[in-house]
Amino acid sequence: MSIIKLHDKYFKKFITENQIENAISLLVKQVSEDLKDETPIFIGILNGSFMFVADFVRKYNYNCEVSFVKLSSYNGTNSTGKIKQLVGVNEDLEGRTVVILEDIIDTGNTLQEIYEIFKDKKLKQLKIATLFFKPDVFKKELPIDYIGISIPDKFIVGYGLDYDNLGRNLADIYQLTTEPKMKNIVLFGPPGAGKGTQADLLKVKYNLEHISTGEVFRYNIKNETELGKLAKSFMDKGDLVPDNVTIDMLKAEVDKTPDANGFIFDGFPRTESQASALDEFLEEKGETISGMVALEVPEDLLVERLLERGKTSGRADDQDESKIRNRFNEYNTKTAILKDYYQTQNKYFGVNGVGAISEITERLSEVFDKL
């Protein structure tokens, strides 16, 4: 998953599930060393901290109690500064060690309120642990005992944190980013589905750059470049060119036109790892794949079309039915996974690829207009 949209705003992947887990392990280690000989009460600050608390206490291997306080200060992406206590502390905390588990400390207004709440509870001690911390915004002279990950002053969502109530369920942390400007479309479909023909028409209509992996490779092969010779050895067998070669070539191709309105990717990505490499690459630019548009055509019709094309194009891989079938097998086993990849992001659009060229262009345009 790359750039996501919540309400009106866009967010890009920022901290992975794995990095979060590592940070929590370190926090647990520090807290355990300090408190393993007593029974601390971990108090999570709701709503944001529910995931953090669950993962933290699961890793904490000594006696402890768990409770929650519900506070609220944020409205949209701005701290309001006014903290409301919605569910208070019920336990008798006298003489106890309390460890506050916060998802994030930003301005410190909430933290100040926490110190207020526990001030007259006659605790043995009050410790503060926060998973995320924004040092550039923190204005208070209040101690924070354990810090997981310090981050820049940019709004984040995921792992319990929300933007107007959305995003709490995301396993990774996403950071606010600018709205993507490009229309980037993965044009998809089995060999012979008419991707190239349609891409040529659509790139003009929508002012997009068309990147056909096959064409770029054939150009390189014809000119006997290093990459071309390498690619040829695979293509002649009807096999796919290895990911790293293809990905580097595609990146270079995209970087040739940095001011493009967007790209039509034709023949790429073909594997899930290519798709996530493409997502990562676009994400660095604050861009994303707008959608995968797939032409759907029955296989027998395709074999017929390809053999016809082979007669005139001279493409070796279009002249032999068993090589064509081999490409379909590759397509079905590897590439169909991509449908799932984009579908889980709500970015998959199937289009009926049987009919006159103009009819199909019309159907594709309906999808392109939406993206």
Identify which of residues 107 and 365 has a Cβ nearer to ligand IMP in the complex. Answer: 107
Binding partner of 288, given Mg ion, ligand IMP, none, CB within 5-8 angstroms per partner class: none
Q: Which of 48, 167, 262, 291 binds Mg ion (CB under 5 A)?
A: 48
Instruction: Candidates 37-45, 191-199, 253-261, 328-336: pick the segment binding Mg ion (CB under 5 A).
Output: 37-45
Q: How far is the CB of 104 from Mg ion (least distance, A)?
A: 6
Q: Is 195 annotated as catalytic?
A: yes
Q: How far is the CB of 172 from Mg ion (least distance, A)?
A: 18
Q: How far is the CB of 109 from ligand IMP (least distance, A)?
A: 4
Q: Is 305 annotated as catalytic?
A: no
Binding partner of 106, given ligand IMP, Mg ion, none, CB within 5-8 angstroms per partner class: ligand IMP
Q: If we measure between CA atoms, which residue out of 126, 124, 123, 128 comes closest to residue 144?
A: 128
Q: How far is the CB of 369 from Mg ion (least distance, A)?
A: 41
Instruction: Candidates 43-51, 232-240, 269-277, 345-353: pick the segment binding Mg ion (CB under 5 A).
Output: 43-51
CA distance readout (Å), 104 to 64, 98, 117, 146, 247: 22, 18, 18, 12, 37
Identify which of residues 46 and 371 has a Cβ nearer to ligand IMP in the complex. Answer: 46
Q: Could you give the CA distance from residue 242 to residue 230 in angstroms, rounded to a whole number? A: 10
Residue with tokens 């970087």: 255
Instruction: Give the catalytic positions in this structure.
Output: 195, 270, 309, 315, 327
Applying CB under 5 A, which residues contact Mg ion?
45, 48
